Amino acid sequence: MLKGKRKIPKVVVERLPRYYRYFDWLEDKQVEKISSRALGEYMGASASQVRLDLSYFGDFGQQGYGYNVRKLKAEMERILSINRQTSFVIVGAGNIGRALTRYGAFKRAGFVLKGLFDVKPLLSGEKINGVLIHPVEELGAFVRDQGIDIGVIAVPREAANDIARVLVDSGIRGIFNFAPIDLEVSSRVPVENIHIIDKMLSLSFLIRNVPPGGEAPEDHT
């Protein structure tokens, strides 16, 4: 249970996977405890920021001792549902859809790909990495019947909102969107947008705006 049921700010939630990665690495190196200051150095944040972030999840730190790596990692696994399986489908079996299907790290992190969907009849029945491509007409019933958690949208921009609507109407719990469009979906269904070009444009801005010999602007993510 989350401590006192305080609402966790989105920025904190977004930092969690990074904390988790670090704890995973520390555990691998058999480090038993870590101070908030050392954690902060890794995260590019102050020790007090780290203490505040982690306070949302319970009392894991001890004054003068630091954080117990094994305990906190286990708690993060619980919070991030890493020990529970999360099901997902991918809509659009093109370049992105196929690349994601072949990406082994999803399974290791507890994400189970249940099916791929595409509008092209020729693709139906094909398997990629053991995952079957279904006709997109079957998407709604599939999501509903199997209680799919997450829908990945990897279709062209023009089709993305229609697909999002089908997913939401079928009870999807979250959307991972690759299409270059801001989806119009109910605010009760969280959407994560993955826009590589936006990131490249930000990076392109940064590399042109670093003063000679100076530091890049701070990353506030």
Applying CB under 6 A, the residues found at the interface with ligand NAI are 91-97, 117-120, 136, 154-157, 159, 163, 178-180, 194-197
Residues 133 and 123 sit within 8 Å (Cβ to Cβ): yes
Structure tokens belonging to residue 161 = 């909102």
Quote the least distance from Cβ 131 to ligand NAI, whole Å: 14
Quote the least distance from Cβ 134 to ligand NAI, whole Å: 10
Structure tokens belonging to residue 57 = 């999840």
Quote the least distance from Cβ 149 to ligand NAI, whole Å: 19
Closer to ligand NAI by CB, 54 or 179: give it. Answer: 179
Closer to ligand NAI by CB, 99 or 216: give it. Answer: 99
Which residues, in sequence order, are CB contacts of 204 under 8 Å at separation 6+? none
Quote the least distance from Cβ 164 to ligand NAI, whole Å: 11
User: How far is it, in rounded angstroms, from Cα 193 to Cα 213?
Assistant: 34
Bridge partners for 135 per DSSP: 118
DSSP state of 174: E
Q: Tokens 């997450």 sit at which residue?
A: 150
Closer to ligand NAI by CB, 180 or 190: give it. Answer: 180
In the complex, which residue's CB is closest to ligand NAI?
94
User: Around Cβ 177, how many Cβ atoms within 10 Å?
Assistant: 22
Quote the least distance from Cβ 125 to ligand NAI, whole Å: 14
Burial 66-91 (b: 16+ CB within 10 A, else e): bbbbeebbebbbebbebeeebbbbbb
Closer to ligand NAI by CB, 69 or 136: give it. Answer: 136
Closer to ligand NAI by CB, 26 or 96: give it. Answer: 96
